[in-house]
Amino acid sequence: MTSCFRVLLPCLLGLSWAASAAVKPNILVLVSDDHGYADTGFNGCKDIPTPHLDRLAASGVRCTSGYVTHPFCSPSRAALMTGRCQQRFGHEFNPVYDPLDPKEGLPLTETLLPEHLGNAGYVTGWIGKWHLGASPAHAPGRRGFAETFGFIGGGHQYDRWKPNQRQYTLPLERNGGPVDVTRHLTTAFGDEAAAFVRRHTAHPWFLYLAFNAPHTPHQPTPERLARFAHLENTNRAKYAAQVSLMDDAIGAALDAVRQSGQESRTLVFFFSDNGGPEVNASDNTPLRGHKGQLYEGGVRVPFLVSWPGRLPAASDYAPPVSSLDVFATALACAGVPMPADRTYDSVHVVPYLAGELRGRPHPRLFWRVGGNQRWAVRDSDWKLVRSRDKPDELYDLAADSGERHNLASGQPAVARRLGAALDAWDKELIAPVFRGSSVKNEDWGPGGINQIHRSRRKRG
């Protein structure tokens, strides 16, 4: 292939996408929370049935190397909404829940995906968990979402809470105002999504349905918990019940898409915001590590992309893709040019998943955690993991997805090459712009439900 044709081919594909954008597809982004890599039927789970997610997998592409940009909640979501590695704009921690602090949240200098799509004629909706800043300026209704329903903080009780100003018991909001919710929260999110889909059949829509399940606290309905009473690990049984409730809620949204005749013009993404943590009894098999870590178990997640009639059904895609790619893919499918005002890391993946483009969407993927504490890079099937306090580790993911055999000493040239690439990438980033809260205190359960006072104590 000549160099001219290499340049021309993406342009021709771009023109074909612009031409087909006359009928703009709906875009549905489904995000689970703290969901283990192995905890879906389509990834081989045996003890937690996920029939609706499995049906989604049968209709589209299972990305076996699907990644997120960070091993815990808020930074991962910030990259999803911007198409940029979150360290480029300093969003490297979970923001403290503090409505009085305009700095704790996704910087207002960033333009989010729903703003671009809204300008292109899309109806934009957010349902579920926000966790991108609690000040009025950071609210989803101020960041491009025309219709909103959910909670603003990093987590929430699921059932029978008494609304107050603590993060996990805040009143839910609809379009900026408080609303009473009497159903189980996961079920409520599925019902709201189905209603959104049925309301909007005349115009293209973008719906970000961000569950807090199966994040702790474990509060499934008694009826759903009874289905998993046979599991010996009671914590696993509660987790399984929460995953099952979420699968049904996803099914409600997907049924609404089908029943309203919108399936063939709806592009669907599904993935978790990070790997499963040990605390909620999730399972990341065969991967090493968990939420909070840069081993595969922290950043490699169950990942699906479906678009019936456009993407091959019941297929697998092995090269790495990222949650970053929602941004460029959505804009391309909507006929919106990628902005050129700053560096973007997102790639339009539909041509790759459809087999129209060969090669890898991302030659390399990078991670950084804790503001210059831990890093990682994946280059082809090689992965380098770096910590400030110990030697670099090198793994061949093709032969060792569990990262059990450190090859750094046996492959020094590869380790140096990946280390140099990581150093160069790190120089493009900035320091965190807000101090945030620790993942241990804020993001793993109701032990962190009152960060306002804690954050003020920490700041003196």
| Helix (H/G/I), strand (E/B), else coil: 107 | coil
Over residues 266-318, the pLDDT tens digits come to 999 999 999 999 999 999 999 999 999 999 999 999 999 999 999 999 999 99
Residue 46: is its pLDDT beyond 80? yes
**CA 320 to CA 381: how far, in whole Å?**
9
Record the pTM: 0.92
Report the pLDDT value the prediction gives residue 1, as an integer from 0 to 100. 39
What lies within 8 Å, CB to CB, of 424 at 6+ separation is none
Report the pLDDT value the prediction gives residue 3, as an integer from 0 to 100. 37
Question: Which is the catalytic residue, given 131, 200, 215, 218?
Answer: 131
User: Which residues make beta-bridge pairs with 148?
Assistant: 126
Examine the residue annotation and report whether 230 is marked as an active-site residue of this protein.
no
Instruction: Estimate the crossing angle of helix 51-58 against helix 234-259, to 10 degrees.
Output: 50
What lies within 8 Å, CB to CB, of 388 at 6+ separation is 372, 373, 374
For residues 145 and 209, the answer to whether their CB atoms sit within 8 Å is no
Q: Are strands 205-210 and 26-32 parallel, antiparallel or unpaired?
A: parallel
Residue 328: is its pLDDT beyond 70? yes
Question: Where is 251: in which H helix or E strand?
Answer: helix 234-259
DSSP letter assigned to residue 210: E
**CA 8 to CA 291: how far, in whole Å?**
41
Q: Hey, how many other C-beta atoms are within 10 angstroms of the C-beta on 158?
A: 25
* Region label for 122, one of left (φ > 0), alpha (ψ between -120 and 50) or beta (otherwise): beta
pLDDT-based confidence at 354, cuts 50/70/90?
Answer: very high
DSSP per-residue letters across 408-446:
TTT-HHHHHHHHHHHHHHHTT----SS--B-HHHHSSSG
Report the pLDDT value the prediction gives residue 22, as an integer from 0 to 100. 62
User: Which residues make beta-bridge pairs with 303?
Assistant: 271
**CA 355 to CA 320: how far, in whole Å?**
14
Query: CA dihedral in degrees (455, 456, 459, 460; nearest 10)?
Result: -150
Over residues 166-203, the pLDDT tens digits come to 899 999 999 999 999 999 999 999 999 999 999 999 99
**CA 211 to CA 149: how far, in whole Å?**
12
Q: How far is CA 399 from CA 149, 157, 283, 383, in A?
A: 44, 41, 21, 12
For residues 110 and 89, the answer to whether their CB atoms sit within 8 Å is yes
Q: What is the mean pLDDT of the chain?
A: 91
Report the pLDDT value the prediction gives residue 79, as an integer from 0 to 100. 98
Q: How far is CA 202 from CA 19, 122, 228, 334, in A?
A: 20, 11, 41, 15
**CA 457 to CA 169: how far, in whole Å?**
21
| Residue 174 CB burial class (10 angstroms; 0-12, 13-18, ≥19) | middle
**CA 356 to CA 201: how far, in whole Å?**
30
Over residues 234-266, the pLDDT tens digits come to 999 999 999 999 999 999 999 999 999 999 999
User: Which residues make beta-bridge pairs with 28?
Assistant: 207, 268
| Helix (H/G/I), strand (E/B), else coil: 143 | coil
Residue 132: is its pLDDT beyond 60? yes
Phi then psi for residue 158, to 5 deg, are -95, -25
List of domains in the chain: 15-353 (3.40.720.10), 372-426 (3.30.1120.10)
| Helix (H/G/I), strand (E/B), else coil: 125 | strand
Rg (CA), the chain: 21
Cis peptide before 361 (omega within 30 of 0): no
Examine the residue annotation and report whether 156 is marked as an active-site residue of this protein.
no
**CA 233 to CA 283: how far, in whole Å?**
13
Question: Which is the catalytic residue, given 73, 85, 156, 348?
Answer: 73
Q: Angle 412-418-419 (CA atoms, 0-180°, nearest 5)?
A: 85
Query: CA dihedral in degrees (208, 209, 215, 221; nearest 10)?
Result: 170
| Range 86-103 average pLDDT | 96
**What burial letters (b/e) apply to 55-74, b meaning 16+ CB within 10 Å?**
bbbebbbbbbbbbbbbbbbb
Phi then psi for residue 417, to 5 deg, are -60, -45
Q: Return the percentage of the chain with pLDDT > 70, whole number.
A: 90
